[in-house]
Amino acid sequence: MFLLGTIVNGLLIIVGTLIGKLLTRIPERIKGTVMHGIGLAVIVLGLQMGIKSENFLIVILSLVFGAVIGEYFDLEAKLNNLGDWLEKKVGSNGQGSISQGFVTATLIFVIGAMAIIGALDSGIRGDHDVLYTKAIIDGFTALILTTTLGIGVMFSAIPVMLYQGAIALFATQINNLIPQALLDSFILEMTATGGIMIFAIGLNLAGITKIRVANLLPGILVVAIIVTVMYYFQPYFA
C-alpha cells in the first residue's frame, strides 16, 4: 500500500495535536519560552539544511523568483484565509489562532526533503521507513505547537497527506521520466532552499521577525526549473 506512510504521517499529526490539547493548562510564561525554544531549534534545522547546497546561486535565484511569484499571487494571504475559514467553521476557544496554527504547522511539515524522499520511497519501493520517521517527528512537533498555537495545527494533516500522497501516487512515473542524477540534484538544492524557508519559520516562531514564508514556496518549483535547465544544458554552463 503505497499511501501507508503518508496516512500514518497524517494520523500522528492529529494524535500529537489531540495530546497537545490536553496540555493547554500551561502558564503563558512557560508557553512563550517553549515557543522561543522551538523557534531556535527550527532555526538550527533550517541552517543545517541550507548549507547542503552544491550551488548556492540556485538557492538565491529560486528564493528571489519564488518570492516574486508568491507575492504576486499572495499565497500567504490565501493560506491565512483558508485558516480563517476553518476557524469560523470549527470555532476558536481563545487558545491560539486556528489560522496561525494551520499555516505554521503546514509550512513546517510540508517543506523539507523528508516529505519528498519519503513519498518517493513509498511509491517506488514500497518502503515507508522515511515517512514513519517523519511521522514520529511531526507528531511530537504537532504536540508542542498545539500547546501554544492551538487546534489549528491538526488541520495541517490535510495538506501534508495530499502533498505526500500525490508524490507517492506519481512516483513510478517520476522515476521513469526523470534521470536519477537530475532527481538527486533537485532533492539536494530543494533541501537547501527549503532549509532557508525553515530558517525563516524559526525566526517567526521565536518572535524575531515576521517573514511571509508561504510567499517563498514557489521557490521550490523554481529550483526544479533551474536544476532541469542546468542538467540538460550542462555543457553550456561548464
pLDDT tens-place string over residues 125-156 = 788 988 998 998 899 889 988 888 888 899 99
Mean pLDDT of 85-89: 72
Rounded Cα–Cα distance for residues 171 and 167 (Å):
6
The model's pLDDT over 161-190, given as tens digits with 9 standing for 90+, comes to: 999 999 999 876 776 788 889 988 988 898
Q: What are the residue boundaries of the structural domains of the chain, listed by start?
A: 4-237
Check residue 84 and give its pLDDT.
76
User: Which residues lie closer than 8 Å to 26 by C-beta, 6 or more apart?
Assistant: 34, 147
pLDDT tops 70 at residue 88: yes
**What percent of the chain is predicted at pLDDT more than 70?**
93
Query: Comparing 8-17, 180-189, 218-227, which segment has the lowest mean pLDDT?
Result: 180-189
CB 201 within 8 Å of CB 46: yes
Long-range CB contacts (within 8 A, 24+) of 181-186: 181/231, 182/227, 182/228, 182/231, 185/54, 185/227, 185/230, 185/231, 186/223, 186/224, 186/227, 186/228
Check residue 180 and give its pLDDT.
85
Check residue 229 and give its pLDDT.
94
Cell triple for residue 222? 523554481
Check residue 39 and give its pLDDT.
82
Check residue 19 and give its pLDDT.
92
Interior CA angle at 187 toward 82 and 191, to 5°? 60
Helices within the chain (DSSP H only): 4-21, 28-50, 56-73, 75-90, 98-110, 113-125, 129-149, 157-169, 171-177, 180-205, 218-232, 234-237
Check residue 237 and give its pLDDT.
56
